[in-house]
Homo-oligomer: A and B are copies of this chain.
């Protein structure tokens, strides 16, 4: 057991709230600060992308007994539903029979988790703007405005779970030897909406992650409990087929009619939503170190903000908690050791999922419409079903296993090289499930 500490968690998002529950259960006094109002009392923003919970996220919830509560507010999604531009529709299973990711609305999940945290004894302080932190004494500086009066609140430990634009990290960044990078993507996104049928059912299959892959841009849809879908249009800010080209109703409607004809019937509020909802940015952020002595640690997006294309942002943040909790179990009151091992262990995996997530935009937006790629996936699945101990596809390693991301990335690259060889086989499209191909793969993976 650890000696009880007074701990501040900055940020009441998903990772901050779940971390607070863990720390409370360990016997600490836990105060969560957030600069925004309580999300339970405000409208959702119109700029969110639905979340998907997969193995790593579930593991963190299971370990603290919250998985059932959360499973009730999610919808299992076991396949991609790919809407090709020629009007055809194909599906692609994500994993084996019974394996699924879960679609969750960010707002509903976040509200639920704050409820659970409060119930467990965590205290929340909303509308409290943290402008600075004194690293050496774990002291937060809170105030109305950046230039106004501040109050000091001293803790034993501070966790920065305050997202990609973390103020806590901001202070660390002004130290020597702090590596940092932020890069904004050329692709932005816009939230759109497929409403439920009058009887509350979903207009399209709720157990599929719907993609309309169009190369440089794509539309995506994930189901909600109320029968609706949260859709996300990912598209470059500038150039051909970009947000900058869609400035008026006419060009918008024409664009959707051309590229997403089957959505016209199911997105009735396209024009209203498109011009009401903001066009949002995507940022990649890396930094190191993540901790300051035994006083402070960054976690989740504050330590590693990635693009959303692998559905792993929240899962990676939750896995941070699992690792941290394991190290707490191992090292007890030696917080310096806990923090050092935490950042050393997590950093390479955070870098790996950042890389995988960025690559996956191309997979989703372009390759899912590519015959060779679909064939590759089919062969991998067929071979993996025959030899599950010899071949686990990369997506499954990332999504349905707890293998460290860095290992998954490395093995995925090795497997991909093998598949590129296999795809060179003459008539592979005809003979892909033959003994010959099976032997060839067995030979290559020796």
Contacts and interface: CB of A to CB of B under 8 A. Distances in A.
17 contacts: A147-B150, A173-B182, A176-B184, A176-B281, A177-B184, A177-B281, A178-B182, A178-B184, A179-B182, A179-B183, A179-B184, A180-B180, A180-B181, A180-B182, A181-B181, A181-B182, A181-B183
A439 to B, nearest CB: 40
Interface string A277-312: 000010000000000000000000000000000000
Please list the 7 inter-chain residue pairs (A to B) with the smallest Cβ-Cβ separation, ordered nearest first: A181-B181, A177-B184, A179-B183, A180-B182, A176-B281, A179-B184, A179-B182
Contacts of A281: 176-177
Contacts of A173: 182
A181 B285 CA distance: 9
Nearest to A174: B165
Interface string A154-181: 0000000000000000000100111111
Interface string A126-138: 0000000000000
A235 to B, nearest CB: 15
A380 B179 CA distance: 38
Given A176-B184, A181-B182, 12 more contacts: A147-B150, A173-B182, A176-B281, A177-B184, A177-B281, A178-B182, A178-B184, A179-B182, A179-B183, A180-B181, A181-B181, A181-B183
Nearest to A146: B132
A181 B180 CA distance: 5
Nearest to A180: B182
A184 B287 CA distance: 11
A182 B170 CA distance: 13
A429 B178 CA distance: 46
Interface string A177-203: 111111110000000000000000000
Contacts of A147: 150
Nearest to A141: B147
Nearest to A179: B183
